[in-house]
Structure 1
Amino acid sequence: MGGARGSRPGGAEPVCLPVRPAETEVRRHRGRPRPRDGPDAKEPHGPARHRPAPRRSAPPRPARHRPARPHPAHRPRSGSPRGLRRSRRPPRRRARHGRSRAAQGAPREAGRRLRPRLAARRTPPPPLEPARLLEDARGRRARRRRPGRRRARPAARHPPRRPRQRPAPLLRRHAPDRLAARHRLRARRRVRARWQDASTESPEAERIPARTDTIYDLASISKIFTATAVMRDVEAGLLALEDRVADHLPRFAENGKGEVTVQHLLTHVGGLPAFINLYSAFPDIPSRIDAVLTVAPSTPPGTKYVYSDLGLITLGLIVEKLSGQSLDAYVREHITGPLGMDETMYNPPAELKARIAATEYVEHYGRLVHGHVHDENAYSLGGVAGHAGVFSTARDLAVFAQMFLHGGIYGGARILQPDTVESMFTDRIAEITGVGGARRGLGPELEAWFYHAGLTSPYSGVHTGFTGTSLVIDPLTETVVVSLTNSVHPTREWSTTSVTRREVSTCVAHALGIVPESVRSGWRAGDRDAATATLEISADLPGREPVLEVELFAHLETAYDLLVLEVSADGGESWKPLPGRLTARHQEPVEIPDGTITGWGRRVAWTGTFPLVDASGPLSGEVQVRLALTTDGSTRGLGAWVGRPRVLDRRQVLVDTDRPGDRDAVVADGWSLPG
C-alpha cells in the first residue's frame, strides 16, 4: 500500500529535524564478508586470524618458594574467603581499553557497508550515541557493560566455534557501534484459516493454526522483488533508469506515454492511474496486458505521486522481455534461489496449501481464496505479475531484508552491488510531494510514518502488503521487522493491521532504546492520536537577559504532529511563538525561527535555548512559557520528551524543575512523568 501524504496545509512551514537528505554516498569497509558458504567456511573453526591467541605461561618460581600443597581433605571450605580456590593460571596481560590482546587482534565485522552523507551538510554527523539501558521485547531491562570494563575471556580449551556473522548495516555511519539489542519480531495471527466464507466460521476442529513456517501471500511486498529484478538489469547494462519505457515496450507509447521512464515507474510518478479492472473487464491474459500498456495517463510524468500497480506490472513485463524468462523464473533463478529462500515462490503448489494462510472470500469467485494469490488482477494474469503474487515465510523474508542490510549480499550470494542498494534506498520524489509527503526510492517506500512509526527515519524502508503484511528495515539500528498476517480473512472490511503495524514498530523502537536515557525521566507527550498536550511554566523576570532552556527529544510525524513553544506576557490571554535554537553534541545547530518543531529529530537529545524577548526587548515581570504538542488523527512517532526546563536571567536561575518546589509549580495537561 502506498500510504501517500499530500503537502502540508497552508501556513508557515515548521522546522524539520533535520533537513532531509537528498542523496547519499557509498563507502565500503575494508573487510570481506564471512558468509556461511564462502571461502572462509573451508576451515572448520574459521580462519587462523579468528582463533584466540595462545595462552602464555608465566615462568615457574623456584622450588624453594613454592609452599607445600595441602591434601584436598585439609583445604579450607569454599564458603569462607580463605577457601576461594585460586586459579593456577597466570594473570592475563591487559591491553589498552581493557581488551585482551586476542580480542584486539580480532577483525572487525566484515562486509561492504553503505554510509550515508547528508547532502545538506558538509560535515556528516558521527554515529549516534547508544542508550546504556535497553529493553527487550518482553519489557525486561538489561544493563550493558562499558566497553572499557569488559573482561577478557580466558583462553578456550577447545577451538572456538566460528563467530556468527553480524548483519552489516545498510547505512553504517549513523549506526551505533555498540548497540546491543537487535530484534526481529514476527507478528502473526493464531489462526491462518478460520472462516468458510464471509460470515460462516469453521468448526473449531477444522481451523488451521498459524505456525512459524506458515506461508503468507505478500501482496504488494512483491513489488520489491520486481524492483530488485529491474535493478539487476540496470547493473547488467540491459536497462537504464532514464530509458523510456516505450523503447522496450513500444505499445506503452499509446495515449501520450512516450516520455515515461523506468525511474518514473519505480517511484510511482509516471502519471499512471492507481488501478484498472483487469480480471473481469477483459477476457484473457493478452488483452489484459494490452490494457495495461495502453492505459491513458492521469497526469504528466514526473509531476504527481500516485501509487500505481500498473507501473510495476509494466516493469515486470520489461524484465521478462530482457531476460527471455517469465518473471517467476527470473526471480527464482537470480534472487530467491541464490539466497536459499526455498519457501518463496509464485503460484505455490497444491501440496503446500495446508501451510498457506487463507485470505478473502471473494464474491467474484464465489469461494474463499486459499492457496493462490489474493489480488484479482494478479490472479487473472496467471498468478505472476510485477505488483503481486509472491508467497513467502517470515524466515525467508528476513533473509531478503538482510540482503539489503548487507549491501546486496547474504550467505555468500551477491544479488546487488552496494551502489545499487544505496540508490534504491535514496529518496527521489521529495521535490514532487513536498514537506510531509510520501518518500520513495527505486522501489522501497521510505520514511513511512504510518507503519514505520517509532522506527521512522529518512533511511527506513521498505513496503506493506494489502493482505496484512509488512516489512520494515531500520538501517540505523540494523533492525528488521517482519509482520505477516492475513487481515483480509474473511473480508477486507473485517479487520485492519494499520494500528498493529505502528504499535509493533514503536514497541521495537522502545526495546532498542532509541529514546536517549538522559530525557527518559522528563515529561512525555505525543503517544496518543488526535490529542493536544500543554506544559506551562511561570516565572517572574527581572528583565535583563531572560532565556528558557530545555532538554528535548522529539520524534514527530513530519508536518502533522507539531511541538510549539510559546510565551505569554498577559497572563495567558494571548500567546506568541518563541524562536530559539537547538544544539547537541556532534550535531550542527538547528534554528527554530517560529518555535515549531517536527520530524524525526535525528534520534538525539537536544538542548534548546529560547530567549524570552519580544519586539521591544527582553520580557520582564510575570510571564508564562508553554510547550504545546498536537497530534493528528492517525499515525505518530515516539512523541516528545522534555527534561529539566529552566528559566535563567544571565547566571541567575529563576526556575529549575529539578528543584521539588519548582517542579510542583509546573502545570502539565497531557504531559506525564514516568511512574
Structure 2
Amino acid sequence: MDPRMSPRRGPTAGGPAAADVAGLPAATGDPGGHEDRPAPGRRRGGPHRHPWAGRSSGRTLREARPDAVGLDAEVLAQLPGIIRAGLENSPPRFAGASLLVASRAGIAYEHADGQALRWQDASTELPRDQWIPARTDTLFDLASISKIVTATAVMQHIEQGLLRLEDRVADQLPRFAEHGKGEVTVQQLLTHVSGLPAWIDLCTAHPDVPSRIDAVLTAPLQTSPGSTYTYSDLGLITLGLIVEKLSGTGLDEYVREHITAPLGMTETMYNPPAQLRDRIAATEYVDADGRLVHGHVHDENAWSLGGVAGHAGVFSTARDLAVFAQMFLDGGRCGGARILEASTVQDMFTDRIAEVTGAGGARRGLGPELAAWTYHAGLTSPYSGVHTGFTGTSLVIDPLTDTIVILLTNSVHPTREWSSTSVTRREVSTCVAHALGVVPQQIRGGWQAGDADASTATLSFAAELRADLQAGLPATAAELHLDLFAHLETDHDILTVEASADQGETWLPLPGRLEAPDEDPVEVPDGRITGWGRRVVWDGTFALADGGAPLVGEVQIRLRLTTGGPPRGLGARVGRLRVLDGGHELFDSHRPDDRREILADGWVLGG
C-alpha cells in the first residue's frame, strides 16, 4: 500500500454519498476506494505493495524502552490516567484492566489497574479483603478474540490442502446443507457474509451438546449468502467444527498443539484449571443461576458447548496475546515457530467485503476485523486489525507502525448493563498513535478539529479578490492553498472546503487538488474530504470559482468539519493558509495581521 509510508507515518475523499466525494489515494482495503496504489518506498505510479506483504522476520518479543522502539514515553505516561478514568466513570466501564503496548517487537509499556474480582453480585461488593487486584499477568476471558484463534486454525488447514476458501461448508458438514445453505462457503463464514443470523440460543433452548451442535448446523439463513454482512457467532462455531473434523481432535487440543504450544503461549487456554482461579478476572453475575462467572467462559453458548467453541472460550494474558499478535506482524512466525505462511497472513489481513458493505461500512479479512474506527481510533488505517471481545477485551495491530495494543478488561463485571469499554479503547489507541508520532511534526502547531461528538467546526476568513484586468485574456480564478492532515472516520466525518461571494448567504464547494511527496495527486471535485489520510501532510490547491467562473470581490472562505458521532480518528489539522491571485499573495496566515483575521469556531491551535 502506501509507498512512502515509513513505519512511523497515509485521505480518501469520500462522503455520505460516496460516488459524489473525491477520495484521497486508495489501496486494496482502503475504505475510500479499491485501486492499487504504490507501496512504501516506491515512486509515484509504481507497483502496489501490501503492508502485510513480505513479513517473515521471526523476531522474538522482548522488553524495550519506549524511545528505543519509536514511542514517546511522555505521551505513554497518559495511559494510566485513561485507564483510571474508565474505572472511575459512573458507572465504571470495567472493574479491572491490563494494558500492553509493543512496537518493533519490543514490549514498551505494561500497566494494570482496578480489580480482577470486586463484586459479589450486580449490586453488592465483596469485603475488601476478598478483592483480587488486576495485574499484568491476570488471565482474562478473551471472548470473541477467540475467533481469530479459530481463523488461524482454519487457515492452517487451508495451507495443508485439506480445505479451500471456496469449499462449500456442507461438503465437510453435510447437516449444514439444511434450509438452503448448501452453497455457503468457508470464506463466507470467515468474513461474516454467509447469511447466517448473528446468534441463536443454544444454552436454554436445547438440552445437550449434540442437540446444540445440530441447532447450529441447521440454523436457517436470514439473507442470501454473500449479500449482507452480519457478524455471526454461528459461522465461527461451524468453522471450529470443521477444524475438529479435519484434525480428528477437539478444537482446544488442536489449538494447543498447533498454535499456542509452538509459540510458547503457556498461559493461553480453554477451560482454565481451578488452581488458576485467583489469577482470572471475574465477569458477570447471572441472576438466573445466582452465580458469579469466575474461572469459566462468560459466553453462554460457549459454556453450553463445554467451554470450547469456535467463537469464544479462550483465556489469556496480555503478554501471551502479544506473542500471538507478533506472529502476525512477522509473517506467521515468532521466534523459531512457524504458525502460518507469510502469504496466508497477508490474505487474512486483506479486506474481502467492501463490495458488500460499501463506503464507510465494515471491513473484514479472513477472520480479522479491519479499519475498525470504533476501537482502532487514532491507529486506524485500511490495514489495521484485529478484534474485540464482549467481555471488554481488544487487540489492535497496526502494520504501518509495527505496533500492537492490547487492552484486556472485565467490563461485564458485575453486569453487562453498566457501561462499555469503547471510549477507553479509543482513547488508548489514540494515545499510542500520538506516542508514535502519527501526526507529522510539521502540522502539529496548526489548527485542529474533529474531537467533538456530532459537531460542526468552522475555520473562516475573507479575501478581496480582484477581477482580471488584462483585456483580451481569459479570466483566471484565484486559488486557496493550504497544508492539510486528515484522519477522519470514512463517510461519517467530512471536511468541506467552500466559499461564499454573498456574505455567507450561500456557500459553494471548491474544486481542488491534493498533492504530497511520493503520493499520486488526488482530485477533489466537490471540496469534501474524508478517510484515513495516509498519515501525510497534503498540499491542497482549491480554485475560488463557481462552475469555472472566477469569484471576485470580497469572498468568504471556510473549512467546515462535521463529525457524525463519537469522534474516532485524529481529526483534521490545517497549517498555512494562503490565497494567491496570479502573482499576488492576497492572504497568508503566516503574516500576523492576516492570522488575526481567521475566525476559528471549534478549531483550536495545536501545540
TM-score, length basis structure 2? 0.85
Distance 2:61 2:464 in 1: 67
Distance 1:218 1:617 in 2: 59
- 1:138 paired with 2:62, answer no
Q: Is the CA contact 1:136–1:512 (under 8 Å) kept in the aligned structure 2?
A: no
Distance 1:33 1:355, change over 3 A: closer
Distance 1:134 1:589, change over 3 A: farther
- 1:656 paired with 2:588, answer yes
Query: Shift of the alpha carbon at 1:14?
Result: 2.6
Q: Is the CA contact 2:143–2:393 (under 8 Å) kept in the aligned structure 1?
A: yes
- 1:19 paired with 2:26, answer yes
Query: Shift of the alpha carbon at 1:546?
Result: 0.7
Q: Is the CA contact 1:445–1:461 (under 8 Å) kept in the aligned structure 2?
A: yes
Distance 1:281 1:363 in 2: 18
What residue is the counterpart of 2:260 in the other structure?
Answer: 336
Distance 1:309 1:342 in 2: 26
What residue is the counterpart of 1:400 in the other structure?
Answer: 324
Q: Deviations over 1:645-675 (max 9, x none)?
A: 1011112111000111000000110000135
Distance 1:562 1:364, change over 3 A: same
Q: Is the CA contact 2:452–2:567 (under 8 Å) kept in the aligned structure 1?
A: no
- 1:595 paired with 2:602, answer no
What residue is the counterpart of 2:597 in the other structure?
Answer: 665
SS at match of 1:559: coil
Note the 1:428-577 alignment, pairs <5 A: 428-544=352-468, 545-577=477-509
- 1:316 paired with 2:255, answer no
- 1:642 paired with 2:574, answer yes
What residue is the counterpart of 2:6 in the other structure?
Answer: none
Distance 2:157 2:575 in 1: 52
Distance 2:122 2:19 in 1: 48
SS at match of 1:587: coil
- 1:215 paired with 2:139, answer yes
Distance 1:133 1:252, change over 3 A: closer
SS at match of 1:495: coil
Distance 2:104 2:438 in 1: 19
What residue is the counterpart of 2:314 in the other structure?
Answer: 390
Query: Shift of the alpha carbon at 1:187?
Result: 6.2
Q: Is the CA contact 1:184–1:482 (under 8 Å) kept in the aligned structure 2?
A: no
Counterpart residue type for residue 434 of structure 2: H
Distance 2:317 2:446 in 1: 41
Q: Is the CA contact 2:139–2:281 (under 8 Å) kept in the aligned structure 1?
A: yes
SS at match of 2:343: helix
SS at match of 1:317: helix
What residue is the counterpart of 1:608 in the other structure?
Answer: 540
Distance 2:61 2:509 in 1: 58
Distance 1:604 1:573 in 2: 34
Note the 1:92-171 alignment, pairs <5 A: 136-138=75-77, 167=104
Counterpart residue type for residue 327 of structure 1: L
Q: Is the CA contact 1:135–1:513 (under 8 Å) kept in the aligned structure 2?
A: no
Query: Shift of the alpha carbon at 1:136?
Result: 3.9
Distance 1:331 1:625 in 2: 59
Unpaired runs of 5+ residues, structure 1, are 1-6, 38-129, 141-164, 169-181
Please, what is the CA RMSD of the aligned residues? Answer: 2.3
TM-score, length basis structure 1? 0.77
What residue is the counterpart of 2:45 in the other structure?
Answer: none
Q: Deviations over 1:281-304 (max 9, x none)?
A: 000000000000000000110000
Note the 1:69-108 alignment, pairs <5 A: none
Distance 1:635 1:252, change over 3 A: farther
Q: Is the CA contact 2:544–2:551 (under 8 Å) kept in the aligned structure 1?
A: yes
- 1:625 paired with 2:557, answer yes
Counterpart residue type for residue 240 of structure 1: R
Distance 1:341 1:11, change over 3 A: closer
Q: Is the CA contact 1:436–1:558 (under 8 Å) kept in the aligned structure 2?
A: yes
What residue is the counterpart of 1:368 in the other structure?
Answer: 292
Note the 1:340-355 alignment, pairs <5 A: 340-355=264-279
Unpaired runs of 5+ residues, structure 2, are 1-13, 29-33, 37-48, 63-68, 80-101, 469-476
Q: Which has the higher contact order (CA 8 A, sep 6+)?
A: 2
Distance 1:465 1:561 in 2: 26
Q: Deviations over 1:192-245 (max 9, x none)?
A: 101001111111111111111100000000000000000000000000000000
SS at match of 2:605: coil
SS at match of 2:404: strand
Distance 1:673 1:229, change over 3 A: same
Counterpart residue type for residue 290 of structure 1: D
SS at match of 2:541: strand
Larger radius of gyration, structure 1 or 2?
1
Aligned residues: 539
Distance 1:639 1:136 in 2: 18
Q: Deviations over 1:498-517 (max 9, x none)?
A: 00000000000011100011
Q: Is the CA contact 2:489–2:568 (under 8 Å) kept in the aligned structure 1?
A: yes
Query: Shift of the alpha carbon at 1:614?
Result: 1.5
Counterpart residue type for residue 332 of structure 1: R
What residue is the counterpart of 1:582 in the other structure?
Answer: 514
Q: Is the CA contact 1:186–1:484 (under 8 Å) kept in the aligned structure 2?
A: no
Distance 2:162 2:266 in 1: 27
Query: Shift of the alpha carbon at 1:135?
Result: 5.5
Distance 2:73 2:543 in 1: 35
Query: Shift of the alpha carbon at 1:251?
Result: 0.1
Q: Deviations over 1:444-482 (max 9, x none)?
A: 000000000000000100000000000000000000000
Distance 1:15 1:665, change over 3 A: same
Distance 2:530 2:321 in 1: 33
SS at match of 1:427: coil
SS at match of 1:632: coil
Query: Shift of the alpha carbon at 1:362?
Result: 1.2
